[in-house]
């Protein structure tokens, strides 16, 4: 009879790429179903949200790629080292410059959840480089898969230029055929020398990587919701109000002139000072009395 150990050993004899896909199936679904990702898929993503997620990705890829560079000659990582094809830091820098301007480094926010992910990447890269492949797999194969759908959605929703500005992150110039490249990447992962215990740890690390991504999406969603509670809609309303006001003046006089004219219209028929009003009232009274006396 097969024991759970032999069963587990047998299944662990499968290729790493297959094991990773199986092990992360559930967390992948969880990631796809986070409110942030669900809204994104429906095209419900604002420029503000897109800038926030791009900022977090910059911190994440900076850490990931720093650790990859540290371990590029280490046999536990070297076979999956593809900087020209995959690395995203430079592309994200380009996008951030496009969205925030040349001062982008001082402007991009790093939520706590993003910082936690960054710390894990550095910890793994420095202390357990054999687990780094789990992080590279989670991000890069994801970007080459669902990421391509998200690119089209973002371009349409945010009306970004068709020339690709703001979307460099999703654009892999060094990969002409994503499906073929993913096959090559999987075969390189499968060629990594790895004992059973390490394989299990890699699978656990990949699940952890997905959860770290989910926590980043949740934090971004919270930031956006809080912003809305704390007055973004009001701000937006005020902004829209201002815009409408300005719009009406595009075809008419400036605000100050308009109110002057309205006031004038209302007061044209009436004398302005109380003294003149009193004199007129007394005059009217005197005339009434005179008419009354004359009639007697
Ligand atoms: C709206 C969100 C998402 C959509 C629509 C999406 C969609 C997809 C699709 C269609 C595939 C290809 C499956 C296949 O080739 O069999 C895929 C693969 C993948 N996705 Fe996602 N995904 C999303 C979010 C994510 C996130 C947040 C991550 C991780 C951070 C991720 C990581 C991956 C990985 C690692 C793969 C490769 C699986 C493998 O072939 O081993 N995805 N995704």
DSSP string over 231-246: THHHHHHHHHHHHHHH
pLDDT tens, 151-193?
999 999 999 998 999 999 999 999 999 999 999 999 999 999 9
Separation of CA 21 and ligand 1 centre (Å): 10
Site to probe by mutation for ligand 1, drawn from 30, 36, 139, 142 as the one with most ligand atoms within 8 Å of Cβ, is 142
CA 292 from chain centre, in angstroms, equals 84
Classify 231 in phi/psi space as left (phi over 0), alpha (psi -120 to 50) or beta. left
Among the listed residues 23, 24, 216, 37, the one whose alpha carbon sits nearest the alpha carbon of residue 120: 216
Check pocket membership of 21 for ligand 1, CB cut-off 6 A. yes
Which sequence spans correspond to the domains of the chain?
14-229
Q: What is the CATH number of domain 14-229?
A: 1.20.910.10
Closest Cα to residue 217, out of 92, 21, 33? 33
Please tell me the predicted confidence (pLDDT) of residue 190: 98
pLDDT of 122 strictly over 60? yes
CB-based contact 57:92 (threshold 8 Å): yes
Sequence length of the chain is: 296
Q: Is 61 in the pocket of ligand 1 (CB under 6 A)?
A: no
pLDDT at 286: 57
Look up the pTM and report it. 0.79
The gap from C-alpha 85 to its chain's centroid, in whole angstroms, comes to 24
- Percent of the chain at pLDDT > 70 equals 73
pLDDT band at residue 226 using 50, 70 and 90 as cut-offs: confident
Q: Is the CB of 56 under 6 A from ligand 1?
A: no
Q: Is 41 in the pocket of ligand 1 (CB under 6 A)?
A: yes
Widest pairwise Cα distance in the chain: 133
């Amino acid at each position: 009879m097969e024991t759970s150990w032999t069963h587990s050993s047998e299944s662990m004899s499968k290729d790493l790429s297959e094991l990773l896909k199986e092990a992360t199936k559930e967390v992948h679904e969880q990631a796809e179903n986070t409110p942030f990702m669900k809204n994104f898929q429906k095209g419900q993503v604002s420029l503000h949200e897109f800038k926030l997620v791009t900022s977090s990705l910059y911190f994440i890829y900076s850490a990931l790629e720093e650790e990859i560079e540290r371990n590029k000659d280490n046999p536990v990582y070297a076979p999956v080292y593809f900087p020209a094809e995959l690395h995203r830091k430079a592309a994200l820098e380009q996008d951030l410059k496009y969205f925030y301007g040349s001062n982008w480094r001082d402007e991009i926010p790093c939520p706590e959840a993003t910082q936690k992910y960054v710390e894990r990447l550095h910890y793994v890269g420095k202390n357990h480089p054999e687990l780094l492949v789990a992080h590279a797999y989670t991000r890069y194969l994801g970007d080459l898969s669902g990421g391509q759908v998200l690119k089209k959605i973002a371009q349409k929703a945010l009306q970004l230029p068709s020339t690709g500005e703001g979307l460099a992150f999703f654009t892999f110039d060094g990969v002409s055929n994503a499906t073929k490249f993913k096959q090559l990447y999987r075969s390189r992962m499968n060629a990594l020398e790895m004992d059973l215990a390490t394989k299990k740890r890699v699978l656990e690390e990949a699940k952890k990587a997905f959860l770290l991504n989910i926590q980043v999406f949740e934090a971004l969603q919270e930031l956006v919701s809080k912003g809305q509670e704390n007055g973004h809609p009001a701000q937006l309303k005020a902004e829209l109000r201002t815009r409408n006001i300005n719009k009406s003046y595009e075809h008419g006089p400036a605000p100050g002139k308009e109110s002057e004219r309205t006031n004038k219209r209302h007061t044209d028929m009436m004398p302005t000072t109380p003294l003149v009003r009193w004199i007129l009232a007394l005059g009217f009274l005197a005339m009434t009395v005179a008419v009354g006396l004359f009639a007697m």
